[in-house]
Structure 1
Amino acid sequence: MTTGSGRTGPATAGSATTGSATTGSVRTEGIARVRLGTEGPEVGVQGLGCMGMSFAYGPTDADEARATLERSLELGVTLYDTADVYGMGDNERFLAPFVKAHRDEIVLATKFALTIDPADPTKRIIDNTPSYIRSSVDASLRRLETDVIDLYYVHRRNPDVPIEETVGVLAELVAAGKVKHLGLSEVTGTELRAAHAVHPITALQSEWSLFSRDIERGVVRAAADLGVALVPYSPLGRGFLTGSFVSADKELGEDDFRRQQPRFTGANAAANAALLAPVRTVADAHGASLGQIALAWVQQRAAVHGLPVVPIPGTRRRVRVEENTAATRITLTEDQLALLEPIADAVAGDRYADMTFTSAAREKQLGV
């Protein structure tokens, strides 16, 4: 196969399996499993981010996306991640048939908090109020056609609402049987500790990749101390780390949201593309793709920081999920890790045009 990095023949799930097992009616092909948090479910060490299957990255082939879901399960993926804001519910609806067909075999994660500003439909706001939380979970349950959400995340935190209040309402949803486990996304280490004191937090989701290491300042330490699993989103830098594009504004369609992100446009994009050189060197040594090295790096953060790490790379193509899951069997040497270490500090441009509601922005305000 040819990867986005221009290399031919990366390690694939089919050629690098460590044996197969049967779970229900699904044949799995050997990716390891890990427990989310101290009391959470056991999942494959790599999950699947489903946003791009119907949202944010331009036109999609729905049939291929559905086939990708099925193939991922065959490969041992069990954690599937969506959110109510992806297409304003469309992504949850898209996943519903897959969820129904495999409900007892998968761990279903969705999120709430981002919604349309009633005063300006072109803008989004962060709503963490109790009434919104209760209405959001019921709406997600209806769209997903299920009676329980396995892992329910606060997608973004509104600092005007005490996090203890937000988690208190979520704990009520657990008691009511609508939600099994709680997660947070883009919170600071201090916020995570405060939330965990109210109700156990199973997983923390934040961007973590060779290009984005903000959370290592304090968030990762808090998660490790509390036994909370890290679920990195965008571990492939929204595709940039695969070498599949260099300049979003020149190469990607008008409806691709990466055109709005500073690090993928203009002079920033050109500077960041040059940072892939050491990734390519390591990839050549393993006979792997750039993306596989990026994923292997994230996976090895578990050993470095002493906590479960389950990245959720997004894809809507079977060939990519095969490539991605094969990365779980790549081990980088200490010398290779050292070669990759300086990359993040050299990245040009923020990961969002508006960083206001990220943990990095709040930690910066607090001097962390």
Structure 2
Amino acid sequence: MKIHNLGATGPRVSALGLGLMGMSDMYGPADEAESIATIHAALDAGITLLDTGDFYGMGRNELLLREALRGRDRDSVVISVKFGAQRDPGGNWIGYDARPSAVKTALSYSLNRLGTDYIDVYRPARLDPSVPVEDTIGAIAEMVDAGYVRHIGLSEVGAATLRRAAAVHPIADLQIEYSLLYRGIEKEILPTARELGIGITAYGVLTRGLLSGHWTADRELSARDFRGHSPRFQGDNLRQNLVLVEALRKVAEQRNVTVAQVAIAWVASRGEDIVPLVGARRRDRLAEALGASELTLSPEDLVAIEAAVPAGAAVGDRYPTAQLGSLDSER
């Protein structure tokens, strides 16, 4: 596994990270024992970057990670935690809270659930529109000075917010969606991040399974599966997007690899400052994703991929309208 610097000021991390959200939330039921086994397999394969959020399963995801890291060398792992998303007891989303006092409260609970003295990268899950980003970053910076946080990150913010945040404290990375089916960061956000020395941890590299090569139009989803409400997975949108997947499959078959491996490798090929996060919940899916780290795409491969899935070819927004409108990165 190759190792990269996460931005100019961030930690050194594996070239591929593991996103843990689906092990506790958003994609329907998951097997806890298999999830822990998958985390262990990732660590054994050289993955060091593990991404969670205090609202994933309302704390259950952090507790899962604590159990998976039991007996492991804490200092060999880079734990990335998102905070700020508010949920009610039924799991419904009720806003964001990134006030300085909320930052410190959320951090204290995460440290306790994770069973660690520090978090490597701490980040607000979204921009809180009622709190200046300078106040939020300033509060996390105080926690850096106190030793509870090593680095500060951001998630789904635009170029202007990146600049304001970086003026307060060095920002290690921006976590944001980036894939063959969503390239919105390329116009302004990615150039700004590079100018400021901010790395990118790219989530959604398989578009929540759509680009995995395993999705079918008749797949049934559980009631709490996010994809049941995602525009890209609806009706004609889904059918048209699956046409793109089949075009990409032809490219993959020419290289004797899978659709998922090509999709992950494409994101990785965008630059060493970009670390793809894969959301594998099972060891077999992780093994497939790991194959992407051994795949080097030639210029001819990249041309074929672009022809199969041209920029802007995906149909349907990446979030429902209400959620999309709240994203600073989309403004």
TM-score by length of 2: 0.94
**Gap runs ≥5 in structure 2:** none
1:59 to 25, 29, 32: 29
Q: Deviations over 1:107-148 (max 9, x none)?
A: 011111101269x97442011111111110001111111110
Does the CA contact (< 8 Å) of 1:211 and 1:344 recur in 2? yes
Measure, in 1, the Cα distance between the counterparts of 2:55 and 2:105.
Answer: 14
AA aligned to 1:229 is: G
Aligned-residue offset at 1:357: 2.5
Aligned-residue offset at 1:193: 1.2
AA aligned to 2:118 is: V
Tell me which residue corresponds to 1:347.
314
**Gap runs ≥5 in structure 1:** 1-30, 363-368
Does the CA contact (< 8 Å) of 1:158 and 1:357 recur in 2? no
1:116 to 87, 93, 115: 87
AA aligned to 1:314 is: G
Q: Deviations over 1:204-255 (max 9, x none)?
A: 100000011111121100111111110001111111101222337x522223
Measure, in 2, the Cα distance between the counterparts of 1:140 and 1:318.
Answer: 26
**Runs ≥4 residues deviating over 6 A:** none
TM-score by length of 1: 0.85
Q: Deviations over 1:44-63 (max 9, x none)?
A: 10010011112221121211
Deviating more after overlay: 138-147 vs 270-279: 270-279
**Is 2:75 aligned against 1:104?**
yes
Measure, in 2, the Cα distance between the counterparts of 1:328 and 1:285.
Answer: 18
**Is 2:48 aligned against 1:48?**
no
**Is 2:237 aligned against 1:262?**
no
Identity percentage of aligned residues: 42
Aligned-residue offset at 1:266: 1.1
Tell me which residue corresponds to 1:6.
none
Tell me which residue corresponds to 1:133.
103
Does the CA contact (< 8 Å) of 2:159 and 2:329 recur in 1? no
Q: Deviations over 1:317-362 (max 9, x none)?
A: 1111121112012122223222333534111111111202224421
Q: Secondary structure at the match of 1:104?
A: helix
Does the CA contact (< 8 Å) of 2:82 and 2:124 recur in 1? yes
Tell me which residue corresponds to 2:303.
338
**Is 2:259 aligned against 1:290?**
yes
Q: Secondary structure at the match of 1:180?
A: strand
Does the CA contact (< 8 Å) of 1:232 and 1:312 recur in 2? yes
Does the CA contact (< 8 Å) of 1:99 and 1:144 recur in 2? no
AA aligned to 1:106 is: V
1:219 to 174, 184, 189: 189
**Aligned-residue CA RMSD in angstroms?**
1.7
Does the CA contact (< 8 Å) of 1:100 and 1:145 recur in 2? no
Aligned-residue offset at 1:194: 1.1
AA aligned to 1:125 is: G
Tell me which residue corresponds to 1:312.
277
Superposed, 1:226-305 pairs within 5 Å as 226-247=196-217, 250-302=219-271
Does the CA contact (< 8 Å) of 1:183 and 1:204 recur in 2? yes
